[in-house]
Amino acid sequence: MRHFDYARAESPQQAVAAHGSDRDAAFLAGGTTLLDLVKLDVMQPQKVVDINGVDLTTIERLDDGRLRIGAMVTNTALARDERVVEDYAVLSQALLAGASTQLRNKATTGGNIMQRVRCPYFRDGVSACNKREPGSGCAAIGGVNRTVHAVLGTSDACIATHPSDMCVAMAAIGATVEVQGPEGSREIDFGDFHLLPGDTPAREHALEPGELITHVVLEAPIHGSRSAYLKLRDRQSYQFALASSAVIVRMDGDIIREARVAMGGVGTKPWRAPEVEAALKDRTASEALFANAARLAFEKATAYSQNGYKIPLGQQAIVRNLSDLTAA
Amino acid sequence: MSDKQHSIIGAGVPRIDGPDKLAGRANYAADNLPADMAYGYGVFSTIAKGKVARIKVDEAKRMPGVIDIFHHGHFPSLYRTPSSFAQGNKVEETRLPFEDERVYYEGQFVALVVADSFENARAAARHVEVEYAAESAVANLAQGLDDNGTQAGSGNHSRGDAPGAFEDAAASIDVTYHTPVETHNPMEMHASVAYWDAQGNLTIYDASQGVVVERNALSKIFAIAPERITVHAPYIGSGFGSKLWTWPHAVATAAVAREVERPVQLVVPRQQMFTTTGHRPETRQRMRLATDANGRLVSLRHESINTTSFTDQYVETCGSVTKSLYSCPNLTVSHATTQVNRGTPTSMRAPGAAPGLFALESAIDEMALAAGVDPVQFRLDNYAERDESQDLDFSSNHIVEATKQAAERFGWHDRNPQIGSMREGREIVGYGMAACNWEALKRPCDARVSLRADGTAFASCATQDIGTGTYTIVAQAVSDVTGIPIDRITVKLGDSSYPDGPISGGSWATATTLPAIAGAARNALDEMKRYATGDNGVFAGASSDELDVVDGGLRNAGGKQVSFAEILDAARYGSADGEAHTEAADSQYSYRSFGAHFVEVRWDPGISHLRVSRVVSAIDVGRVINETTARNQVEGAVVMGIGMGLFEATEYDERNGRPVNNDYAEYVVPVHADQPEIDVILLDYPDLAFNEYGARGIGEIGITGLSAAIGNAVHHATGKRIRELPITLDKLMDDVPQAQSA
């Protein structure tokens, strides 16, 4: 069998120390991505640092109203947390729209942020893939790209979507990622955490080697707001989004005072759409307004051989979500 | 058989194998771990066409635990099986594993590592270096037609003058349908565990829907007598046809087990279950239909082409139902194949009929619209009253009643035929329907039944229970004949050393097995009566004719009743045994099953969301043997039909022929949340011309026609006629942006 070193950490400090700055080391949380990709021989960590013994499982309300979530809080626990259900419905719904019950019971908050793309050409270990083997090309362009490939934020090097639902909700809510590394702790704005593929799709996030996500801090809920996650896919469950929207609105009568919109299934990262938000702000809710605003999100979209439908579908995900949320 | 005894037939007896499955006591192929077992792991081709130019195993061979590494330059010499259905030694892929250096499809075995653990075998497999001389692959049906045209298929039929009648008709359509490759994807992986004893006898545990045929095929391949091979498959985690015939992995496992002189286990990874264990092929079907001024079919042509491999011809007989479902004097059905670089296709639930009725029943809907007739009425007007393709009467045909009953239950009369006219909130409701149909088959069968001194019964037959309930209905048949309660009957299946039974396919296991079981049980009863009336018997001196079988015992005219156990005890015998052989169905009638599906879909254009919301199916399969398992078969087939209609397709990269969506996440089948309200009506008219139980089999008919009913409902809701499965949401959207050509 393929041998690797295994260490079990009891604290973030221990975990970081055990990991070091070794690029061939990997943290093991729920394992729903890592074990999968190791079995497929797509990831070959030489060292695995198990962080399931690290106590990062609490959710706490900070004095400034923000919600601080431990990286090892499971997707199930987060989705069912009363404060999340009350104040961040969009997050609870997004989590429950993802994966299956068994996977959500294992998957963690930090791990969900770190999950890797579902592009079959990345996962097959054979095809050209700049993520897996930089410089080899992108087989998805011109190949089978109907479901898990993006129309926003793509490059000639990579078109895979970021698969997470949770992250789309977090992108809409606004959040800070707290990390600990060999050089100490730092914070990364959620919007800066995931990187566009550009010419370097193998580089997927802002973490330096050896840095560990310890918490995600959600921005304080917008007083008087409503939120929802709408996920569109072929089957009703257990499929990654073809297109999804996370929407938060604060209404004043039928006027939208504030809107936050993010999208999944269409972008190479969890896709916040500030141009849509700006177009909605202080405007009277109407289907025509929603349609015009949603169109703005896709002005720079690129259709590939099989996924052009995501451009209208993504707009539908925004329009319907807004329509339901703003209905009296 | 008294009416009272017959009450067990048709009853919803719970599965007798259920407790073992729930408790984990049911051993599937890969659960067998004989002592000193080694593990195999395959190296699979990463090109779809070409040659293995060089294979380097030195480094891999030095890895921990590796016992040997086999490939085309290092593999025992075997023989091909003639692959005859009649001889019972059929395989779908006749090429032997590692026969030469040629690669015919992606995911073909090019090497096999044997090591002391699964992990070591897999790790070493990843260090086998294979250099290929790749050639340009034929990646799909269209490329196959361009590259090498077609080969004539089988199952063709012609009567009258279809082209001539088409020209003169009042209304006509000429449309082409396309169905993609679908992959069976049973939950249980294909797996084999094989070992040879010192005398050269082979034992193999295999995920098999046909232990006898596998034994016979292996007998040919290893050139040893069938008696020296035992194939075990007591439990199968479903197969849907993919486990009917022996695939290369089972041959390879048996071969290398002999070489390394240890038991070897090989499990086919999920990814290669898309390549080397069969699939339903891609089809293109041209349908030309025409009616007279009264809406009667006057011309029907069904021309089908399916993909096959370069090593074997598999014909998907899409027109098999078209020959006889509708009355039409001028009719042509033809099948052809085109070769592509994929593994050999095989039967998948309702082979031929499932894709064939998508085309036929969609086309009938189109024809009805063109003729201006309601689709239900059109079918009622045109259903055949006898099998015009064979010039035979049907043994029993209640399709008119099935159609009318299902229409009534569904509420077809509420349908507004106007496209898109039925709305509920944001959703547009569509109603569609289709006929379903499947040939009823019955094969030769042997069986054995023992009535034992402890009051129990034992029945055995070398057929299989593939999760459908065969164990249970065999027990019901034994109970029916002997009066012994179900919980005192042991049924053993899935072992080639039992009396020869049928493959579990074609929906023929029930009709084939039960008469043989009943015959064996009656022969055991005759033996029991001889013991009872013999010198030491409890009814010594009486005539067997005077004895009735009552509740697991015999009773004479005087009312004296003695249990089988007491009879055997008195005669000092351990058991009364019976065997029986029953023959294939005769050709006195055309034996077919019939039915109709009615489907409601809901289309929400605002979010391009399509779902099947309601299904009513009326099924005429002769007598229902077990209400619970029968209903389960139809419900499961309806769900599978929803998958076929909306989701399922194995996607091949057109540039190199590689199957891309080769896992459970990306190959989309329905989940629980996709399952609508399903209302199954079982007509339950015994077909006593077919067999003594009047049962015709129920495994496949439920999937036939279902995807067409969905497509017809989608057309009613959206006005869009989707002639290419699956009906995914992007096909229903308007103004979809296209990729800029690079």
CB-based contact B658 A2, cutoff 8 Å: no
How far is the C-alpha of B389 from the C-alpha of B372, rounded, in Å? Answer: 27
Separate counts of helices (H) and strands (E) for chain B: 17, 28
Domain range for residue B18?
A: 3-26+444-582
How far is the C-alpha of B83 from the C-alpha of B313, rounded, in Å? Answer: 12
CB-based contact B647 A235, cutoff 8 Å: yes
Kindly report the nearest CA distance between residue A236 and chain B, in angstroms: 6
Catalytic site residue from B182, B316, B700, B724: B700
Across A62-77, average pLDDT? 98
Give pLDDT tens digits for A16-55. 999 998 889 999 999 999 999 999 999 999 999 999 999 9
Give pLDDT tens digits for B215-262. 999 999 999 999 999 999 999 999 999 999 999 999 999 999 999 999
pLDDT over 90 (residue B4): no
- CB contacts of A228 in chain B (<8 Å) are none
CATH class of this structure's domain A5-53: alpha beta
Q: Contact B596/B377 with Cβ under 8 angstroms?
A: no
Q: How far is CA B335 from CA B51, B144, B152, B568, B687, in A?
A: 31, 15, 7, 58, 31
Q: Which residues contact B42 (CB under 8 A, 6 or more apart)?
A: B109, B111, B112, B113, B125, B249, B252, B266, B268, B269, B272
How far is the C-alpha of B428 from the C-alpha of B413, rounded, in Å? Answer: 17
pLDDT over 70 (residue B1): no
What are the beta bridge partners of residue A215?
A70, A178
Q: In what order do the strands lie in the sheet with B548-550?
A: B548-550, B553-555, B561-563
Q: Does A247 touch chain B (CB under 8 A)?
A: no
pLDDT over 90 (residue A2): no
pLDDT at site B683: 97
Residue type, A18: A
Q: Does B611 touch chain A (CB under 8 A)?
A: yes
The three-state (H, E, C) secondary structure of B156-199, written as one string = CEEECCHHHHHHCCCEEEEEEEEECCECCCCCCCCEEEEEECCC
Q: In what order do the strands lie in the sheet with B66-71?
A: B66-71, B109-115, B38-44, B264-267, B191-196, B202-206, B229-232
Residues B401 and B460 in one domain: no
CA angle A256–A261–A266, rounded 5-degree value? 145
ipTM beyond cut 0.90: yes
Domain locations in chain A as residue ranges: 5-53, 225-326
pLDDT at site B3: 47
Does residue B698 lie within any of the structural domains?
A: yes
- Candidates A146, A160, A181; CA nearest to A307 is A146
Q: What's the fold here for domain A225-326?
A: Enolase-like; domain 1 (3.30.390)
Question: In the numeric block, which tokens belong to residue A183?
Answer: 């050089």
- What percent of chain B is modeled with pLDDT above 90? 98
Residues B335 and B435 in one domain: yes
Question: How does strand B331-339 pair with strand B151-152?
Answer: antiparallel
Kindly report the nearest CA distance between residue A62 and chain B, in angstroms: 38
- Candidates B386, B410, B409, B396; CA nearest to B620 is B396
Residues B563 and B680 in one domain: no
Q: Does B23 touch chain A (CB under 8 A)?
A: no
Residues B554 and B664 in one domain: no
The three-state (H, E, C) secondary structure of B129-143, written as one string = EEEEEECCCCCCHHH
pLDDT band at B741 (very low <50, low <70, confident <90, very high): low
Does residue B162 lie within any of the structural domains?
A: no
Neighbours of B46 (CB within 10 A): 19
- Candidates A13, A15, A44, A43; CA nearest to A29 is A15
Residues B492 and B379 in one domain: no
pLDDT at site A328: 65
CB-based contact A309 B733, cutoff 8 Å: yes
Kindly report the nearest CA distance between residue A303 and chain B, in angstroms: 5
- Candidates B628, B498, B504; CA nearest to B235 is B504
Give pLDDT tens digits for A84-95. 999 999 999 999
CB-based contact A308 B737, cutoff 8 Å: yes
Residues B205 and B217 in one domain: yes
Residues B457 and B566 in one domain: yes
Q: Provide the greatest CA pair distance for chain B.
A: 95
Q: Contact B145/B305 with Cβ under 8 angstroms?
A: yes
Q: Does A121 touch chain B (CB under 8 A)?
A: yes
pLDDT over 90 (residue B292): yes
Give pLDDT tens digits for B36-56. 999 999 999 999 999 999 999
Helix axes B375-382, B399-410, angle to 10 degrees: 170
- CB contacts of A304 in chain B (<8 Å) are 739
Residues B78 and B21 in one domain: no
- Candidates B49, B41, B31, B593; CA nearest to B324 is B593
Residues B711 and B565 in one domain: no
CA angle A189–A194–A198, rounded 5-degree value? 130
Does residue B149 lie within any of the structural domains?
A: no
Q: Is B217 exposed, middle or buried (0-12, 13-18, 19+ CB in 10 A)?
A: buried
How far is the C-alpha of B374 from the C-alpha of B712, rounded, in Å? Answer: 12
CB-based contact B671 A235, cutoff 8 Å: yes
B543 Rama sector, left if φ>0, alpha if ψ -120 to 50, beta otherwise: beta
Q: Residue B85 sits in a domain of what CATH number?
A: 3.90.1170.50
- What percent of chain A is modeled with pLDDT above 70? 99
Give pLDDT tens digits for B453-468. 999 999 999 999 999 9
Give pLDDT tens digits for B169-215. 999 999 999 999 999 999 999 999 999 999 999 999 999 999 999 99
Q: Does B674 touch chain A (CB under 8 A)?
A: yes
User: Which member of A121, A238, A320 has the closest CB to residue B606?
Assistant: A320
Across B150-173, average pLDDT? 97
H runs (alpha helix) in A25-88: 34-39, 75-80, 82-87
Question: In the numeric block, which tokens belong to residue B511?
Answer: 């009709």
Q: Is A301 exposed, middle or buried (0-12, 13-18, 19+ CB in 10 A)?
A: buried
State the best of B45, B46, B608, B674 to mutate against chain A, taking most chain A CBs within 10 Å: B608
pLDDT at site B5: 46
Does residue B700 carry a catalytic annotation? yes
Residues B561 and B462 in one domain: yes
- What percent of chain B is modeled with pLDDT above 70? 99
The length of chain B, given as a count of residues: 742
In chain A, residues 10-49 whose CB comes closer than 8 Å to chain B: 41
pLDDT at site B6: 59
Across A279-292, average pLDDT? 98
Q: Does B274 touch chain A (CB under 8 A)?
A: no
Kindly report the nearest CA distance between residue A173 and chain B, in angstroms: 23
Question: In the numeric block, which tokens belong to residue B301?
Answer: 């042509």
Give pLDDT tens digits for B111-151. 999 999 999 999 999 999 999 999 999 999 999 999 999 99
Give pLDDT tens digits for B350-396. 999 999 999 999 999 999 999 999 999 999 999 999 999 999 999 99
Q: Contact B554/B547 with Cβ under 8 angstroms?
A: yes
Q: Which of B565, B582, B599 is the last residue of a domain?
A: B582
- What percent of chain A is modeled with pLDDT above 90? 98
Residues B80 and B126 in one domain: yes
Q: Contact B643/B581 with Cβ under 8 angstroms?
A: no
Q: Residue B652 sits in a domain of what CATH number?
A: 3.30.365.10
Residues B94 and B231 in one domain: yes
pLDDT over 70 (residue A101): yes
Q: Contact B254/B362 with Cβ under 8 angstroms?
A: no
Phi, psi values for residue A84, rounded to 5°? -70, -45
Q: Helix (H, G, I), strand (E, B), or coil: what is residue B368? A: helix
Number of domains in chain B: 3
